[in-house]
Chain A
Amino acid sequence: MTVTGERLRTGRGLGTSAARPDGVPKVSGTFGFSSDLHADGMVWGHVLRSPHPSARILGVDIGPALAMAGVHAVLTADDVPGTNGFGLEHADQPVFARDVVRFTGEAVAAVAADHPDTARRAAQAIVVHYEPVEPVVDPEAAIVAAPIHPDGNVFRHLVIRHGDIAAEGDVVVEGTYEVGMQDQAFMGPESGLAVPDDVGGVDLYMSTQWLHVDRDQVADCLGLAPEQVRLTLAGVGGAFGAREDVSMQVHICLLALHTGRPVKMVFSREESFLGHVHRHPARMHYRHHATRDGRLVKVEARMLLDGGAYASTSGPVLVNACCFAAGPYHVPNALIEGWAVRTNNPPCGAMRGFGAVQACFGHESQMDRLAAELGLDPVELRLRNAMRTGDCIPTGQVVSGAAPVAELIRTCAAAPLPALDPAPSPMSMPGGSGRAADAGRVRRGVGFAVGFKNLMYSAGFDDFSTARVRLDEGVATVTCAAAEVGQGFVTLAQQIVRDVLGVDEVVVAPAETMTIGSAGSTSASRQTWMSGGAVQGAALAVRARLEAGQTGPIEETYEHHHPPTFPLDDNGQGNAHVSYVFAAHRAVVDVDLDLGLVRVVEIATSQDVGRVLNPVQVVGQIEGGIAQGVGLAVMEEIVLDRGLVRNASFTDYLIPTALDMPTVTVAALIEEPEPGAPFGAKGVGEPPTISSSAAVAAAIRAATGLALPRIPVRPQDIALA
Chain B
Amino acid sequence: MTFRLTVNGRPRDVEGAWLGESLLYVLRERLGLPGSKNACEQGECGSCSVRLDDRLVCACLVLAAEAQGRSVATVEGLSAGDRTLTDVQQAFLDQGAVQCGFCTPGLVMSVHDLLDRNPAPDELELREAISGNLCRCTGYGRILAAARTVVERRAAATPERELP
Task: Say if A and B assemble together.
Answer: yes
Shortest A600–chain B CB gap in Å is 11
* Pick from B79, B102, B124, B145: contact of A187, CB under 8 Å: B102
Contacts of A626 on B, CB cut-off 8 Å? Answer: 139
Are A651 and B42 in contact, CB atoms less than 8 angstroms apart? yes
Shortest B150–chain A CB gap in Å is 12
* Pick from A27, A428, A649, A657: contact of B92, CB under 8 Å: A27
Contacts of A619 on B, CB cut-off 8 Å? Answer: 96, 141-142
Contacts of A427 on B, CB cut-off 8 Å? Answer: 124, 127-128
Segment among A122-130, A163-171, A480-488, A531-539 that sits at the interface with chain B: A480-488
What CA separation (Å) do A620 and B137 show in the bound complex?
Answer: 8
- Give the one of B40, B102, B105, B127 with max A CB within 10 A: B102
Contacts of B76 on A, CB cut-off 8 Å? Answer: 28-30
Interface presence of A3 (CB below 8 A): yes
Are B18 and A627 in contact, CB atoms less than 8 angstroms apart? no
Contacts of B130 on A, CB cut-off 8 Å? Answer: 658
Interface presence of A324 (CB below 8 A): no
Contacts of B124 on A, CB cut-off 8 Å? Answer: 425, 427-428, 659
Interface presence of A269 (CB below 8 A): yes
In the complex, residue of chain B having the shortest beta-carbon distance to the beta carbon of A485: B100
Q: State whether A187 and B45 are in contact (beta carbons under 8 Å apart), knowing that A237-B102, A427-B128, A619-B141 are contacts in the complex.
A: yes
Shortest A619–chain B CB gap in Å is 7
* Pick from B33, B44, B90, B144: contact of A649, CB under 8 Å: B44
Are B89 and A616 in contact, CB atoms less than 8 angstroms apart? no
Contacts of A650 on B, CB cut-off 8 Å? Answer: 39-40, 42, 44-45, 134
Are A661 and B18 in contact, CB atoms less than 8 angstroms apart? no
In the complex, residue of chain B having the shortest beta-carbon distance to the beta carbon of A31: B101
What CA separation (Å) do A360 and B29 show in the bound complex?
Answer: 45
Shortest A583–chain B CB gap in Å is 15
Interface presence of B138 (CB below 8 A): yes
Interface presence of B6 (CB below 8 A): no
Are A29 and B39 in contact, CB atoms less than 8 angstroms apart? no
In the complex, residue of chain B having the shortest beta-carbon distance to the beta carbon of A484: B100
In the complex, residue of chain A having the shortest beta-carbon distance to the beta carbon of B126: A658
What CA separation (Å) do A667 and B103 show in the bound complex?
Answer: 28
Contact bitstring A30-41, B, C-beta under 8 A = 1, else 0: 111101101000
In the complex, residue of chain B having the shortest beta-carbon distance to the beta carbon of A191: B38
Are B89 and A269 in contact, CB atoms less than 8 angstroms apart? no
What CA separation (Å) do A29 and B36 show in the bound complex?
Answer: 7
Are A27 and B138 in contact, CB atoms less than 8 angstroms apart? no
Task: Give how many A-B residue pairs fall within 8 Å (CB-CB).
Answer: 184
What CA separation (Å) do A363 and B28 show in the bound complex?
Answer: 48
Within A209-250, the residues touching B (CB, 8 Å) are 235-240
Interface presence of A716 (CB below 8 A): no
Shortest B79–chain A CB gap in Å is 7
Interface presence of A664 (CB below 8 A): yes
What CA separation (Å) do A189 and B103 show in the bound complex?
Answer: 12
Q: State whether A616 and B45 are in contact (beta carbons under 8 Å apart), knowing that A29-B36, A655-B136 are contacts in the complex.
A: no
What CA separation (Å) do A629 and B79 show in the bound complex?
Answer: 36
What CA separation (Å) do A649 and B98 show in the bound complex?
Answer: 24
Are B142 and A188 in contact, CB atoms less than 8 angstroms apart? no
What CA separation (Å) do A188 and B41 show in the bound complex?
Answer: 12
Contact bitstring A183-224, B, C-beta under 8 A = 1, else 0: 011111100000000000000000000000000000000000
Contacts of B139 on A, CB cut-off 8 Å? Answer: 623-627, 656, 661, 664
In the complex, residue of chain B having the shortest beta-carbon distance to the beta carbon of A614: B96
Are B96 and A237 in contact, CB atoms less than 8 angstroms apart? no
What CA separation (Å) do A428 and B38 show in the bound complex?
Answer: 30
Shortest A203–chain B CB gap in Å is 20
Are B135 and A187 in contact, CB atoms less than 8 angstroms apart? yes
Contacts of A189 on B, CB cut-off 8 Å? Answer: 38-39
* Pick from A23, A184, A657: contact of B134, CB under 8 Å: A657
Shortest A3–chain B CB gap in Å is 7
Are B141 and A29 in contact, CB atoms less than 8 angstroms apart? no
Within B66-117, the residues touching A (CB, 8 Å) are 74-76, 78-79, 85, 89-90, 92-93, 95-96, 98-105, 108
Contacts of A33 on B, CB cut-off 8 Å? Answer: 34, 37, 101-102
* Pick from A17, A22, A32, A649: contact of B42, CB under 8 Å: A649
What CA separation (Å) do A487 and B38 show in the bound complex?
Answer: 21
What CA separation (Å) do A485 and B136 show in the bound complex?
Answer: 12
What CA separation (Å) do A468 and B95 show in the bound complex?
Answer: 30
In the complex, residue of chain A having the shortest beta-carbon distance to the beta carbon of B127: A658
Are A236 and B99 in contact, CB atoms less than 8 angstroms apart? no
Interface presence of B20 (CB below 8 A): yes
- Give the one of A185, A617, A619, A628 with max B CB within 10 A: A619
Are B128 and A27 in contact, CB atoms less than 8 angstroms apart? no
Are A486 and B140 in contact, CB atoms less than 8 angstroms apart? no
In the complex, residue of chain B having the shortest beta-carbon distance to the beta carbon of A426: B124
Q: State whether A624 and B137 are in contact (beta carbons under 8 Å apart), knowing that A27-B104, A427-B124 are contacts in the complex.
A: yes
Are B42 and A616 in contact, CB atoms less than 8 angstroms apart? no
Chain B residues with a Cβ closer than 8 Å to the other chain, count: 59
Are A20 and B28 in contact, CB atoms less than 8 angstroms apart? no
Are A26 and B104 in contact, CB atoms less than 8 angstroms apart? yes
What CA separation (Å) do A485 and B140 show in the bound complex?
Answer: 17
Q: State whether A23 and B35 are in contact (beta carbons under 8 Å apart), knowing that A28-B85, A425-B124 are contacts in the complex.
A: no
Interface presence of A598 (CB below 8 A): no
Contacts of A144 on B, CB cut-off 8 Å? Answer: none
Shortest A502–chain B CB gap in Å is 25
Are B93 and A237 in contact, CB atoms less than 8 angstroms apart? no
What CA separation (Å) do A468 and B78 show in the bound complex?
Answer: 37
Q: State whether A27 and B108 are in contact (beta carbons under 8 Å apart), knowing that A237-B100, A486-B100 are contacts in the complex.
A: yes
* Pick from B28, B96, B105, B128: contact of A659, CB under 8 Å: B128
Are A620 and B142 in contact, CB atoms less than 8 angstroms apart? yes
* Pick from B28, B37, B136: contact of A240, CB under 8 Å: B136
* Pick from B18, B102, B132: contact of A238, CB under 8 Å: B102
Within B10-66, the residues touching A (CB, 8 Å) are 18, 20, 28-29, 32-42, 44-45, 47
Are B104 and A664 in contact, CB atoms less than 8 angstroms apart? no
Shortest B8–chain A CB gap in Å is 11
* Pick from A187, A425, A627, A664: contact of B100, CB under 8 Å: A187
What CA separation (Å) do A443 and B101 show in the bound complex?
Answer: 37
Are A27 and B37 in contact, CB atoms less than 8 angstroms apart? no
In the complex, residue of chain A having the shortest beta-carbon distance to the beta carbon of B38: A35
* Pick from A23, A487, A625: contact of B93, CB under 8 Å: A23
Shortest B100–chain A CB gap in Å is 3
* Pick from B74, B93, B99, B126: contact of A24, CB under 8 Å: B93
Contacts of A30 on B, CB cut-off 8 Å? Answer: 35, 76
Are A269 and B40 in contact, CB atoms less than 8 angstroms apart? yes
In the complex, residue of chain A having the shortest beta-carbon distance to the beta carbon of B148: A2
Are A664 and B141 in contact, CB atoms less than 8 angstroms apart? yes
In the complex, residue of chain A having the shortest beta-carbon distance to the beta carbon of B39: A187
What CA separation (Å) do A655 and B135 show in the bound complex?
Answer: 9
What CA separation (Å) do A31 and B128 show in the bound complex?
Answer: 27
Contacts of B20 on A, CB cut-off 8 Å? Answer: 117
Are A624 and B96 in contact, CB atoms less than 8 angstroms apart? no
Interface presence of A548 (CB below 8 A): no
Q: Which 3 A-B pairs have the closest CB atoms?
A: A29-B35, A486-B100, A26-B101
What is B's interface to A at a CB cutoff of 8 Å? 18, 20, 28-29, 32-42, 44-45, 47, 74-76, 78-79, 85, 89-90, 92-93, 95-96, 98-105, 108, 124, 126-128, 130-145
What is A's interface to B at a CB cutoff of 8 Å? 1-3, 17, 19-20, 22-24, 26-33, 35-36, 38, 115, 117, 184-189, 235-240, 266, 268-269, 425, 427-428, 433, 485-488, 616-617, 619-620, 623-628, 649-651, 655-659, 661, 664
Other 20 A-B pairs with CB < 8 A, given A28-B75, A616-B95, A664-B141: A22-B98, A26-B101, A27-B93, A27-B98, A28-B76, A29-B35, A32-B34, A33-B34, A268-B41, A486-B100, A616-B142, A617-B96, A620-B99, A620-B137, A651-B42, A657-B127, A657-B134, A658-B128, A659-B131, A664-B139
Q: List 18 A-B contacts (CB under 8 A).
A: A20-B93, A23-B98, A27-B98, A27-B101, A29-B74, A33-B102, A35-B34, A187-B37, A188-B37, A269-B41, A269-B42, A425-B124, A427-B127, A427-B128, A433-B131, A620-B142, A627-B140, A628-B136
